Amino acid sequence: MTSKRIVVVGATGHIGTFLVPRLVRAGHQVVTISRGTRSAYVGAPEWQHVEQVTADREQEDRDGVFGDRVVALRPGVVVDLVCFTLASAEALVAALRGTDAHLVHCGSVWRAGPSAVLPVTEENATPPVGEYGTQKDAIARFLKEGTARGGVVTTSLHPGHVSGPGWAPIGPVGNLDPSVWHTLSAGEPLLVPGLGAESMHHVHADDVAQAFELAVAHRDAAAGEDFSVVAPTALTARGYAALAASWFGQEARLESVSWDRFRQVVPTEHAEASWEHLSRSHVFSIEKARRLLGYAPRYTAEETVLDAVRWLVDNDEVEVARPLLPAT
């Protein structure tokens, strides 16, 4: 593989934690841009070989100088992991015009609305709902259309619910409520809203990093394309809960309730997060990423969330009633 100078924006987050070491191991020259307020979730010796630039992307976008900062770093590739508005994407693309840089953007599966046909592909997704998904969809369309017109070469990758060691995964009822893990580990009743057949599609952060590395390596195949990046499996709410309880040697005691009842007894923050995740009921196809990029996720959805939960338990980040069963 030809060595490239790669600028990674937002490099110390979930994806960058795994992507930056991958790029260094592949022989690339890596420059990172972040606010410098935190380190990567998982340490790796490869970070010693990275040029790190401190900058506040949001502030520099407001000042209209962020794109110039990126171009001044002379990138062959720009991996943008923290672009959340169409205006921000437009400004970066405008700055990159006239260069030969390949812009690889991190989108989200929430560019798709509630499922109508399963699996969801890059072609059959329903229109997005909510500001976050709407912006991510608008960015992806802008990048794709611009490349098709002969503009900056771009690719957008759309991860599912990114999980891994260092942070809490979206849990069995579609939220980040830490008490869910105690409930399941204790064998206590867990309220499940709706049918419990609603699905979520997780992905391990290292598998997302793999997809970004492949997009960089296969520029021609990736140019002007968008890809869903998820685990090879997805989880239903009830299936996820039963699986999670089994990690603690328990059987899940699940109580189906209406959404109205769920909202009455669960804190608003968690109830709304559950609705946002479960009402979409997403299951995505990775066939396009397999075919054009060679994407081959290492982790199933089950393994992905277990890896995250094991880290939380081992680091006393969540209270559980019983220890996790040993890894097999």
Which residues on neighbouring strands pair with residue 233, listed in sequence order? none
List the domain range (segments joined by +) for residue 10.
5-163+202-229
Please give the distance of CA 29 from its chain centroid, rounded to a whole number: 24
Task: Tell whether 325 is covered by a domain.
Answer: no
User: Would you list the DSSP string of 192-214?
Assistant: EETTS--EE-EEEHHHHHHHHHH
What integer best gives the mean pLDDT of the chain? Answer: 96
Cβ neighbours of 253 (radius 10 Å): 15
pLDDT band at 124 (very low <50, low <70, confident <90, very high): very high
The DSSP symbol for 46 reads G
Task: Let me know: does 74 contact 5? Beta carbons within 8 Å.
Answer: yes
Is residue 56 included in any domain, yes or no?
yes
Residue 173 DSSP symbol:
T
Are 170 and 176 a contacting pair, CB within 8 Å?
yes
* pLDDT over 70, % of the chain: 99
Q: Average pLDDT of 131-152?
A: 98
Predicted pLDDT at 50 = 95
pLDDT, tens digit, for every residue of 195-211?
A: 999 999 999 999 999 99
Task: Give me the pLDDT at residue 328, please.
Answer: 60
148 lies in some domain: yes
pLDDT value at 252 more than 80:
yes
Q: Tell whether 288 is covered by a domain.
A: no
CA distance 77 to 99: 10
The domain that contains 81 carries what CATH number?
3.40.50.720
pLDDT score of 43:
82
pLDDT at 8 over 70: yes
Reported confidence tier of residue 42, pLDDT bands at 50, 70, 90? confident
Domain count, the chain: 1
For residue 46, is pLDDT > 90?
yes
SS3 per-residue string spanning 51-102: EEEECCHHHHHHHCCHHHHHHHCCCCEEEECCCCCHHHHHHHHHHHCCCCCE
Q: Is the pLDDT of residue 1 over 70?
A: no
- How confident is the model at residue 36, as a pLDDT? 75
Is 212 within a domain? yes
- CA nearest to 210, candidates 166, 136, 159, 147: 159
In a domain, 318, yes or no: no
Residue 36 placed within a domain? yes
User: Which single residue is written with the structure tokens 């009842």?
Assistant: 261
Q: Does residue 195 lie within any of the structural domains? A: no
Q: How many CB atoms lie within 10 A of CB 39?
A: 11
DSSP state of 123: T
Q: Do 282 and 120 meet the contact criterion of CB atoms below 8 Å apart?
A: yes
Q: What is the mean pLDDT of residues 182-187?
A: 98
Contact 19, 213 (CB under 8 A): yes
State mean pLDDT over 228-250.
Answer: 98
Q: Is the pLDDT of residue 120 over 80?
A: yes
| Radius of gyration from C-alpha coordinates of the chain | 20
